[in-house]
Amino acid sequence: MNPNRTHALTDLLQQVPGITAVIGGGGKSTLLACGGRGLAARGSTAILATSTHMLPAADIACARGLAGQRAAAGGALPALCQLGIPEEGTGKLAAPADAWSELADAADFVLVEADGSRGLPFKAHNEYEPVIPDGCARVIYVVGASGFGAPVYDVVHRPQVFRRLTDCAPYEPASPALVARGIAAEGLVGMPDDLVIVSQVEDTGALDAARAFAVELAEVITCPIYAGSLRAEALVRLA
């Protein structure tokens, strides 16, 4: 493994067609939008959706379901679209009108935001989260590097759950080791096709923290761990 080689997000997504559930903290929406655009630019068809709630990307065609999107596009599904039922008063989308199997049959890739983190870098999951779609081929767990070192209650969505998982203090710093411990305790990611991506890595300090996180997490999971910028499609494999 070359530690200096960068990988495009699109390359990583192309490895596993079908439904990908994206979970975790800050960066999920960016992954969906940037990943979908990258896949479409390479000639694939991609659908963006949520199994819970998400804000739609403003510049990507949107409809309630496949029939509406096809009608709006003149009969054919566009290379990239987002599907979901609008929620009154929130501006967010809920799950689309179609079954997940129908979406998987209609496009090469279906990228699904499968939990919410309220924009925070880290996420701990209640027992009813995440909402993994039927037929899911892989899980991508996103971690926001901007939260490393800040107090747990400031940077973790559902900090009470995180405290139960890690036995940490309320305002203990969210160190790379502590965040890795929380993810390992949940056991939501780790199959061979899964990925962990540390996003928001914009400087050497963030990369150092991501490397420390990867060292800890790689002791308990075997799937690849990457870090870098999702917008720039520049990711380095850490483990």
Ordered by start, the domain boundaries in the chain are 6-49+108-237
The mean per-residue pLDDT over the stretch 168-197 comes to 97
3-state secondary structure (DSSP) of residue 54: strand
* pLDDT score, position 224: 98
Provide the sign of the torsion angle of the four alpha carbons 168, 174, 179, 180, taken in this order.
Answer: negative
Across the range 115-137, mean pLDDT stands at 96
**Strand runs (DSSP E) across 51-121, as ranges?**
62-63, 80-83, 85-86, 93-94, 109-113
Evaluate whether the domain defined by 6-49+108-237 bears CATH number 1.10.10: no
**Which pLDDT band, with edges at 50, 70 and 90, does 101 fall under?**
very high
- What confidence score (pLDDT) does residue 74 get? 84
DSSP letter for each residue of 127-189: TT---PPTTEEEEEEEEEGGGTTSBHHHHEESHHHHHHHH---TT-B--HHHHHHHHHHHT--
Mean pLDDT of 193-208: 96
**Residue recorded with tokens 């699109």:** 10
Q: What is the share, in percent, of the chain residues with pLDDT greater than 90?
A: 89
pLDDT digits (tens, 9 = 90+) for 2-35: 566 899 999 999 999 999 999 999 899 999 999 9
Q: Determine the pLDDT at residue 130.
A: 98
pLDDT in tens, 56-97: 998 999 999 999 898 887 888 999 999 999 999 898 999 999
Per-residue pLDDT tens over the stretch 155-181: 999 999 999 999 999 899 999 999 999
Q: Given this model, what pLDDT does residue 146 score? A: 96
Give me the chain's average pLDDT, please: 95
Q: For position 5, what pLDDT does the model report?
A: 86
pLDDT(1) > 70: no
The pLDDT value recorded for residue 4 is 67
Dist CA 39 CA 237 (whole Å): 20
Three-class SS state of 69? helix
pLDDT of the residue at 2: 55
